[in-house]
Amino acid sequence: MHSAVSAPAPDNLGAIFDRISGVGAQVGEGVTRLAASAEDGAARALFAEWMTRGGARMSHDAIGNQFACFDWAGERAPLIFAGSHLDTQPRGGRFDGALGVLAAGCAALALQSEVGGGTFRPSHNLVVVNWTNEEGARYQPSLTGSSVFSGVLKMGDALALRDGAGVALRDALAAIGVVGAQGSVPLRPEAYVELHVEQGRKLLAAGFRIGVVEGTWAARKMTVTWNGRAAHTGPTPMADRRDALLAAARGIAAFEAAIAGRYPHLHRSAARLEVWPNSPNVVVDRATVWFELRGVDVLELDRAGQAALAVFEKAAMETGTRLEIVSDLIREPAKMDGRLIAIASEQARLCGFEPLSMLSVAGHDAVALQNSGIPSALIFVPSVDGIAHHPDELTHPDDMHTGLTVLMAVLRRLSEGQMGHGCERQEARHA
């Protein structure tokens, strides 16, 4: 059966969003809630308490993915997943990831109330998910938890990842109470839906409040190290120095020039640098840089990556250092599930919001799941000025609630397992 949807009250989302936003927040410094940190543990505990109080059965797997399970149709019923992540970048924004988890939770609780009242009889169970280490700020690669769940990354390899201080992810998780799996961990779902802030300007520029993602860009991520030789910065003759930091500086500059000149439409970055021994009186012995290229064409990324590797090798030769390729990985572009694209677009219109079909430059957990064969949908709401990974990141409350309304309509239809009429048409603000 299908019953009309009443969208959850905006203050319900606002209240839990404000609570989670306070975890790891510092005035003027945004939110720092790195994966498997004490702050991440506190946010996880709040999420679990909130979901349990609303009637969910909580579980987590060994990599720390949290599952709030609403067993409406019996334990053998097929599953629908919805969620995102609660970890952030250092000094990150409040909305990236957290909005998707909390909006999915609000939608689930609203539907749970209807199930309890006998006005909604789903044929599928719903699971709200908080994926571990989506951001990849503390541990690389990013999308760790969703990649483990989807079978792309082995559990043992993921648990053995180490942060910049040498702390294994296994030990960091144990410090916040995640030691192995707990509870009945759900199996692969029939579908996954993720609501996320756009992290760009296209929605606002085009005058839309909802975006439905058709696909994503590919990414090539290269971590390279220049190995030199430590020496005293005072008496060591210049001709005898093998300065790894000088090599890294030349490599970064040459990378920028080469890619900008030959592939100007690709997005490029050198966003992280680590040096050792990092003393003002010692010539740098080792410098590691994290490079990234993003584009729609994997073959073009391959050519651009080869050009980058050539300039990195040239920087090593010019400085007497040795180049080491620590990792060089391609994340394939995702083509989101066509059936779910159609459902999300239809439900957005029925809710009064014309959707914008778009591509996502950023990677999301939905990408990891879709690329592993789990049908996935990605729904965007606007980001003011396109600001992301920064304390000024902002999505207006009205747009948050628009996303929640559309997400709930999609989850209702998927949980019914049949064609539905979406949500009651609402007054929409269109530019």
Mean pLDDT of 149-173: 97
Kindly tell me if the per-residue pLDDT of 10 is higher than 60.
no
Mean pLDDT of 172-176: 98
* pLDDT value at residue 284: 98
Mean pLDDT of 176-186: 96
DSSP label at 56? P
Over the stretch 387-409, which tens digit does the pLDDT of each residue have?
999 999 999 999 999 999 999 99
CB 308 within 8 A of CB 258: yes
pLDDT band (50, 70, 90) for residue 8: low
DSSP, residue by residue, 360-408: ESS--HHHHHHHTT--EEEEEE--GGG--SSTT----HHHHHHHHHHHH
Kindly tell me if the per-residue pLDDT of 6 is higher than 70.
no
Over the stretch 197-221, which tens digit does the pLDDT of each residue have?
999 999 999 999 999 999 999 999 9
Q: Can you tell me the distance from the alpha carbon of 289 to that of 307, in angstroms, rounded to the nearest whole number?
A: 16
Kindly tell me if the per-residue pLDDT of 116 is higher than 60.
yes
Q: Can you tell me the distance from the alpha carbon of 108 to that of 102, in angstroms, rounded to the nearest whole number?
A: 10
- How deeply is 312 buried, as exposed, middle or buried, from its count of CB atoms within 10 A (0-12, 13-18, 19+)? buried
Kindly tell me if the per-residue pLDDT of 424 is higher than 90.
no
DSSP label at 116? H
What would the CATH number be for the domain defined by 219-331?
Answer: 3.30.70.360
pLDDT band (50, 70, 90) for residue 75: confident
More confidently predicted of 277 and 7: 277
Mean pLDDT of 313-322: 98
Going through 61-206 in order, the beta strands assigned E by DSSP cover 66-70, 79-85, 125-131, 191-197
Fold equal for 10-217+334-416 and 219-331: no
CB 178 within 8 A of CB 57: no
Q: Where are the domains of the chain?
A: 10-217+334-416, 219-331
What would the CATH number be for the domain defined by 10-217+334-416?
Answer: 3.40.630.10
For residue 264, give the amino acid letter: P
Q: Can you tell me the distance from the alpha carbon of 185 to that of 207, in angstroms, rounded to the nearest whole number?
A: 41
- Percent of all residues in the chain with a pLDDT value above 90, rounded to a whole number: 93
Q: Can you tell me the distance from the alpha carbon of 45 to that of 41, in angstroms, rounded to the nearest whole number?
A: 6
Kindly tell me if the per-residue pLDDT of 99 is higher than 70.
yes
Kindly tell me if the per-residue pLDDT of 427 is higher than 50.
no
Kindly tell me if the per-residue pLDDT of 7 is higher than 80.
no
Measured in whole angstroms, the distance separating CA 164 from the mean position of its chain's CA atoms is 20
* pLDDT value at residue 428: 36
